[in-house]
Chains A and B, each alone.
Chain A
Amino acid sequence: MSSTYAVLAEFKNPGELMKAAETVRKAGYTKWDVHSPFPIHGMDDAMGLKPSKLGWLVFGHAVLGFTGAVTLLTWASSIAYPINISGKPFANFPAFVPIIFELTVLLSAFGAVFGMFFLNNMPRHHNPLFNSETIRRATDDGFFVVIESTDTLYHETKTAELLRSAGATLIEPISA
């Protein structure tokens, strides 16, 4: 493994970063990312990212919550412990609606939050990115492109040259 994990390039503002992202995507890199203190509108397209699959994860959880709730309520009140309340049916679906709704929402929210963590590889406290002091400003006011050295197109000078021509104000390697 090489001692360089990635090359980091800083850009002046969100507009410059977006142009740089387009340049890097057109050059054909695949293992790279842009870092910014807030999400930038239009960056997903500039980077050529596919839409997030999170919606499907949430849908799966919603289905789980819904069927789980229907099963629990029907089983508990008609098989496990049937209670006769004013002669109403044991499986009294109109009365089950609120709890079915709540459990569907609860499981969907779990899907949204933990699914997002899953897709983002979080928690991940040991990331070679954190070896760089500079990238700490990505949570303040820095706008960065990071290209990993394992990318097949990565070349110590050519990659740096590409980033410089895209308008980078600072270029530095990140050690592994």
Chain B
Amino acid sequence: MSQSTYVPEEPLVKGNHTFASITSLIADIPEQPTPKWWYIAFGISNILLGVLLMSIGYLFWEGTGIWGITNPVGWGWAIINFVWWVGIGHAGTLISAILYLFRQGWRTAINRFAEAMTIFAVICALIFPGIHVGRIWLAYWMFPLPNGMQMWPNFNSPLLWDVFAVSTYFTVSLLFWFVGLVPDFATLRDRVKSKLAAKIYGFFALGWTGGNRQWQHYEKAYMLLAGLATPLVLSVHTIVSFDFAVSVIPGWHTTIFPPYFVAGAIFSGFAMVMTLMLIARKLYKLEDIMTLDHIEKVNMVILVTGNMVGFAYIMEFFIAWYSGVTYEKAAFINRAMGPYAWAYWTMFLCNVISPQFFWSKKMRRSITASFILSIVVNIGMWFERFVITVTSLAQDFLPSSWGYYSPTKWDMLTYLGTFGLFFTFFLLFLRFLPMVAIAEVKMVMPQADPHHTDAHKGDH
């Protein structure tokens, strides 16, 4: 290649960092005194967590009648929130697994906390299928456990597939996250001044020495986990979409659902990554690691997946018309012009129109625009699940059995409470764990290349 065509890539880590300064930038955060804002944020999160526990407690006491679900809308906010939270989780796996397989070095800046986000989001999601069963003491019937009545679950049911998909997803994400954390736990073990902290971090570091004989198996394990998590994450939202698509309700029974759900999940997840990343980089001064280039790349993913989702919305209408099925056509006309038109157009505006701003490079690199649009997108994605779930059930086949669904205050408080749970976990993570994958960031620095010192003699 001639020299004139060579455009070096933007460095992934900005500023003049050495390995040691990267370590101290991230690993010293748990040792610094707890900032005041942290206590305030943690206090608010704990109050919301209390709201969640109270709502769940009342639900167990009184039953699902406290929710707005009714006939014909038997699925309300619980499933909407479940799908929304699981979807958010998907970005973490996408960043940690799929971008790893594609050798996208920029992922190292954000993969750790995106994975943490995945785990906490999936915990929030798992609450809903757990509590929505009317008789909570029989919730174990969801699992294939031997029981006194010699019953086994119905393995033909998408709802059961979902139990397996989401619990596998949670377990694998947790393992993946932990494996990534092991070398960084060792860094903290070797660094913290407090003896107790060194013991605790050391316990989780499992005796990691950083020897190449360990790295060899470690890297293999990481690659295999990435290879396993990639089809897994695609399968999870596919199976979540089967909850709807395998039924015969107009508006649900469509083959576009699996790819459409996966794209939507990645879309909302990246938006959540953006929200959290902008807050974390500001509060912890990580602008050198989470650079504007990272923000721009995340915004590009939001733009692409947003357009996929927009394509799916329009394609649904086309297929409803092309299918010639009266009920299907009616369902979609009702969506856009019926009693829930306000929800449909909110969704459309937030998910299809708002990401279009990111065609402009200036917007992609604007922190304010990124922050506002990332929240708009997540509002939009919540409405998407609302539209899919509620409009299809409220008006299915017989107009005589149509109805209108409204949530109760308990629906709202439970949903609000899950934010408390999410942020309680997330703040603890920011406070006590390395929020950036230290070893992986070092790996993408130019000095990490063993031929780095040779390279300077020539001209690349």
Residues of A within 8 A of B (CB): 13-18, 21, 33-44, 47, 49, 52, 54-55, 58, 72-73, 76-77, 80-81, 83, 85, 88, 92, 95-96, 98-99, 101-103, 105-106, 108-110, 112-113, 115-117, 119-127, 129, 135-141, 146
28 A–B contacts, CB within 8 A, in A order: A14-B447, A15-B453, A35-B209, A35-B211, A38-B443, A39-B212, A39-B216, A39-B219, A43-B212, A72-B144, A80-B150, A81-B150, A99-B161, A101-B235, A102-B164, A102-B232, A105-B235, A109-B225, A109-B228, A113-B179, A115-B221, A120-B217, A122-B208, A138-B190, A138-B209, A139-B187, A140-B20, A140-B190
Q: Given A33, A42, A105, which contacts B228 in the complex, CB threshold below 8 Å?
A: A105
Smallest beta-carbon distance B442→chain A, Å = 5
- Contact at A34–B168, with CB atoms within 8 Å? no
Cα A42 to Cα B448 with chains together (Å): 12
Q: Which residues of B contact A105 (CB under 8 A)?
A: 168, 172, 228, 231-232, 235
Say whether B282 faces chain A, with CB atoms less than 8 Å apart.
Answer: no
Smallest beta-carbon distance A83→chain B, Å = 6
Q: Given B150, B165, B189, B442, which contacts A102 in the complex, CB threshold below 8 Å?
A: B165
Q: Which residue of B lies closest to A141 (CB)?
A: B19
Q: Given A14, A39, A113, A122, which contacts B175 in the complex, CB threshold below 8 Å?
A: A113
Q: Given A54, A99, A109, A138, which contacts B210 in the complex, CB threshold below 8 Å?
A: A138
- Contact at A109–B172, with CB atoms within 8 Å? yes
- Contact at A37–B212, with CB atoms within 8 Å? no
Q: Which residues of A contact B179 (CB under 8 A)?
A: 113, 116
* A-B pairs, 5 with minimum CB distance: A116-B221, A141-B19, A124-B207, A136-B190, A123-B206
Q: What mask results when residues 181 to 192 of chain B are scored 1 for a CB within 8 Å of chain A, else 0? A: 011001101110
- Contact at B155–A99, with CB atoms within 8 Å? yes
Cα A13 to Cα B445 with chains together (Å): 13
List 15 extra interface pairs beyond A33-B213, A98-B239, A117-B206, CB under 8 A. A13-B447, A13-B453, A41-B449, A47-B213, A98-B158, A102-B161, A102-B232, A106-B172, A112-B221, A116-B217, A116-B218, A139-B187, A139-B189, A139-B190, A140-B19
- Contact at B228–A123, with CB atoms within 8 Å? no
Cα A146 to Cα B97 with chains together (Å): 33
Say whether B224 faces chain A, with CB atoms less than 8 Å apart.
Answer: yes
Smallest beta-carbon distance A73→chain B, Å = 5
Main secondary structure of the interface of A (DSSP, over half): helix
- Contact at B439–A37, with CB atoms within 8 Å? yes
- Contact at B187–A15, with CB atoms within 8 Å? no
Smallest beta-carbon distance A40→chain B, Å = 6
Q: Which residues of B contact A33 (CB under 8 A)?
A: 209, 211-213
Say whether B128 faces chain A, with CB atoms less than 8 Å apart.
Answer: no
Cα A116 to Cα B183 with chains together (Å): 13
Cα A105 to Cα B152 with chains together (Å): 22
Known: A92-B156, A108-B228, A115-B221. A139 touches B451 (CB 8 A): no
Q: Which residues of A contact B156 (CB under 8 A)?
A: 77, 85, 88, 92, 95
Known: A43-B212, A139-B186, A140-B19. A98 touches B164 (CB 8 A): yes
- Contact at A14–B232, with CB atoms within 8 Å? no
- Contact at A125–B202, with CB atoms within 8 Å? yes
Q: Given A36, A41, A54, A136, which contacts B217 in the complex, CB threshold below 8 Å?
A: A54
Known: A103-B164, A112-B221. A77 touches B155 (CB 8 A): yes
Q: Which residue of B lies closest to A99 (CB)?
A: B164
Q: Which residue of B lies closest to A133 (CB)?
A: B190
Q: Which residues of B contact A72 (CB under 8 A)?
A: 144
Cα A76 to Cα B144 with chains together (Å): 9
- Contact at B160–A52, with CB atoms within 8 Å? no
Cα A119 to Cα B440 with chains together (Å): 21
Say whether B154 faces chain A, with CB atoms less than 8 Å apart.
Answer: yes
- Contact at A127–B152, with CB atoms within 8 Å? no
Q: Which residue of B lies closest to A121 (CB)?
A: B207
- Contact at A125–B155, with CB atoms within 8 Å? no
